[in-house]
Structure 1
């Protein structure tokens, strides 16, 4: 049986959110990260995952929470198996806004803990149902209510208010300069040597620090940032060919290959499904 993956952007929910429904039989997600949270609920089967170096296996009725920027992978847990799941990708700002309305105490920020996998069948079913509604309903209000209720249940059951705001994990200044340089040059080919010049360190030192601080190689990080930028452009209505050229992919097939490996679908299918 083939993989069936639906990934789309809904601009009318929470200021814009990506949503996914998937039946994975053979797909394998290479190491990547997202700018938003990943909130995934598992309906059937088992996925073997690695998140920020932590490894485990999902089961039906579990919920996975991956904070923005955490590098993760996913593949089938059994050779002849697969897994069925749905996922929501809310921004940290959207979840903070939601939690500020739910917590009555002075609110500094939302803390969803450090456990990537939660056993909560009721929450999993609510999340799965919400994504199903979002996939088939043409009424924006109904989609907004379904997603809002599901995420509110997540926050009430597993979130807590922090005060003051939890400190952000700071990236050392040299690597931050490299990241800033990459972000400003996504439209062209980059070499580690030029990133190293911006950072003021040797190429070897840059490669070692990048892996230690971001969880990705320099090349993986560049591809990740290009894919995130291109995906946002597709959601705004930019044609796939233009998005590929704008963000440094050599040609359409190169772009499509990377997009499929990261997100399980093609740029065209994603663009066509966006609302």
Structure 2
């Protein structure tokens, strides 16, 4: 299903989005509010996660946790086909229950790289199916069948979550709660009891971006969710803390490769 120079979004069911990208655009440092599972089917992809860089080769599967800063770009623009699955945290909890019997079970959705050709082929096939119209029952059956293989591949020793400075977690919670407000660095530093400079240093060390850049990513992800639910674009800009609709449109196009209106039409 090669479509040169295109970015296609599809949402076959609540909590799951699928992206097909054969354009040459670079995805600069960004985050998602849910989990990402992605693979290439034609050429390698340069990527970095939390400061570590590598190349995602065809046959490899990368999983990225929510709010993990990462970036990626094609090794070969002409042969690129990036296939991505976006799972909300609620979707993964439901998946854990369906496949493991409990929502808080240790699952394979952690920052990791998997090498499993058979699973890669199954995920590629699932990706194709989810970009095509299908009944919900059929989609659910395909998802559970393929992702059960991902769970079988998981090794608990490899997927333990990493530690994070509690002050960083406090600031992130505050950013979520005050996303539509005008915040200051002094306000955030006072919240966690350190200097403004020290806050920037520890935040960047743990998340890969300074607080304001991280906040912009949170705002964009919130805007994406609202737009997918067909919210008014101007109202979305205000709710997410952007100065106006044009400010949202400019940053949204940079981040997702589509304008807010184009993104809504994809659904």
The interval holding the TM-score normalised by the smaller chain is 0.7 to 0.9
Task: Find the aligned partners of 1:170 and 1:81 in 2 and give their Cα distance.
Answer: 39
| Matched residue, 1:169 | 163
| Matched residue, 1:189 | 182
Pairwise CA distance, 1:92: 4.0
Pairwise CA distance, 1:89: 1.3
Unpaired segments ≥5 residues, structure 2: none
Pairwise CA distance, 1:262: 2.6
| Matched residue, 1:16 | 15
Task: Find the aligned partners of 1:262 and 1:247 in 2 and give their Cα distance.
Answer: 15
User: Which shows bigger deviation, 226-235 or 86-95?
Assistant: 86-95
User: Which shows bigger deviation, 54-63 or 38-47?
Assistant: 54-63
Write the mapping of 1:1-275 to structure 2, written as runs, cut at 5 A: 3-10=5-12, 13=13, 15-25=14-24, 27-78=25-76, 81-103=78-100, 109-112=105-108, 116-156=112-152, 158-160=153-155, 169-172=163-166, 174-274=167-267
Q: Deviations over 1:210-232 (max 9, x none)?
A: 11222221121111111121112
Determine helix, strand or coil for the equivalent of 1:109: coil
Task: Find the aligned partners of 1:60 and 1:200 in 2 and give their Cα distance.
Answer: 46
- The structure with higher relative contact order (CA 8 Å, sep 6+) is 1
Pairwise CA distance, 1:114: 6.6
Task: Evaluate the alpha carbon distance shift between residue 205 and residue 226 of structure 1 in structure 2; reply closer, same or farther with a 3 A threshold.
Answer: same
Determine helix, strand or coil for the equivalent of 1:18: strand
User: Which shows bigger deviation, 127-136 or 107-116?
Assistant: 107-116
Determine helix, strand or coil for the equivalent of 1:216: coil
Q: Which TM-score applies when normalising by structure 2?
A: 0.85
Q: Which TM-score applies when normalising by structure 1?
A: 0.83
Q: Deviations over 1:201-255 (max 9, x none)?
A: 2211111121122222112111111112111212222122221121111233321
Determine helix, strand or coil for the equivalent of 2:58: coil
Q: Deviations over 1:177-211 (max 9, x none)?
A: 43233222221333323322333322111111211
Q: Deviations over 1:51-82 (max 9, x none)?
A: 1222111222222111223211001224x555
Count the aligned residue pairs. 264
